[in-house]
Amino acid sequence: MGMTDLRVNLSGVELKNPLIPASGTFGFGREFLPYYDLNLLGAISVKGTTGEPRFGNPTPRIAECPAGMLNSVGLQNPGAQAVAKEELPALRQVYTGPIIANISGFSEEEYVRCVERLTGQEQVAILEINISCPNVRHGGMAFGTDPEAAARITRAVKRVATRPVYMKLSPNVTDIVAIARACAEAGADGLSLINTLLGMRIDLQRRRPVLANTYGGYSGPGIFPVALRMVHQVTGAVDIPVIGMGGVTTARDVIEMMMAGAKAVQIGAANLVNPMACPEILAALPGEMEKLGIRALSEIERVPVN
């Protein structure tokens, strides 16, 4: 077991293992301090940050499903200034590893402003640019469902970024490869995929949508096969590294995601079901690697198509 090598590399950023709590499922890290030492994580992707503070959408904004959940949070966050001045310094007190700053916006100008505010922050190792939030009317997913808009945001952000830029893609498209290619050609250093799948639940008694916002993003184990397929398609088409996410729940899921072509893996909804999800997956990883004869995670090769 001691012989397994869990290290991975994302655009020159060394991670001691590939496990990263996904944005929006881990707050700004401190929320998980009662459960475990955050320093065992490969990196942390913090809650999506916008230029101004946001209260988010009206409630109810969570609906449970048999194999996952819907959220329509609406990018609740304290704003870039408070993230830079309060949240990230507080996280740095308890965590010395790489931080992934996740950035959202309603205009090109807002993305740029947010990146300018966060790119120089100590420990921010990667900028993850969310062009895939399904829960806001303007901006968000609108940028991630059109190749030209995705390229435009990528170029604008790259002009001011001093850290590797990973564009976070939406699965709510006909052809995710077209969006991935547009981002890569516009200079993205990497990609994160997938965000949530747009979904809905109905309250049968009330005959109304469960979510106040009507629709929400579906995440959890039910979306894993979709995420895997999209990661495999995208990594077959672009040369930049991909962080894979979507329903990852077990150590075997992590390995499967890396066999689909991902260089690192984010754990999202699993954190909300079991706050110990990440350390438990990490503890199981060496044993599962040994069973498969994998010595180093970085040596996993993307499986070919049949």
Site for ligand SIN in 2-31 (CB under 6 A): 24
Q: Which of 140, 145, 183, 182 is nearest to 164 (CA)?
A: 183
Q: Which of 256, 246, 267, 241 is nearest to 14 (CA)?
A: 241
Identify which range of 73-81, 83-91, 92-100, 249-257 contacts ligand SIN by CB under 6 A: 73-81
Identify which range of 81-89, 129-137, 203-211, 273-281 contacts ligand SIN by CB under 6 A: 129-137
User: Closer to ligand SIN at the Cβ: 201 or 286?
Assistant: 201
Residue 153 engages ligand SIN in binding (rule: CB under 6 A): no
Query: What CA–CA distances, in Å, run from 24 to 76, 130, 192?
Result: 9, 11, 14
Kindly state the smallest distance separating residue 80's Cβ from ligand SIN, in Å.
15
Burial of 162 (0-12, 13-18, 19+ CB in 10 A): exposed
CB 76 within 8 A of CB 49: no
CA–CA distance, 259 with 78 (Å, rounded to integer): 37
User: Closer to ligand SIN at the Cβ: 73 or 101?
Assistant: 73
Residue that the structure tokens 């740095």 belong to: 92
Residue 195 engages ligand SIN in binding (rule: CB under 6 A): yes
133 catalytic, yes or no?
yes
Kindly state the smallest distance separating residue 219's Cβ from ligand SIN, in Å.
8
Residue 132 engages ligand SIN in binding (rule: CB under 6 A): yes
Identify which range of 118-126, 128-136, 146-154, 230-238 contacts ligand SIN by CB under 6 A: 128-136
Q: The tokens of 232 are what?
A: 């495999």
Residue 196 engages ligand SIN in binding (rule: CB under 6 A): yes
Residue 266 engages ligand SIN in binding (rule: CB under 6 A): no
Q: Would you say how long the chain is, in residues?
A: 306
Site for ligand SIN in 216-255 (CB under 6 A): 217
Residue 150 engages ligand SIN in binding (rule: CB under 6 A): no
228 conformational bin, left if phi > 0, alpha if psi -120 to 50, beta if neither: alpha
Positions that interact with ligand SIN (CB under 6 A):
24, 48, 71, 73-75, 130, 132-133, 135, 195-196, 217
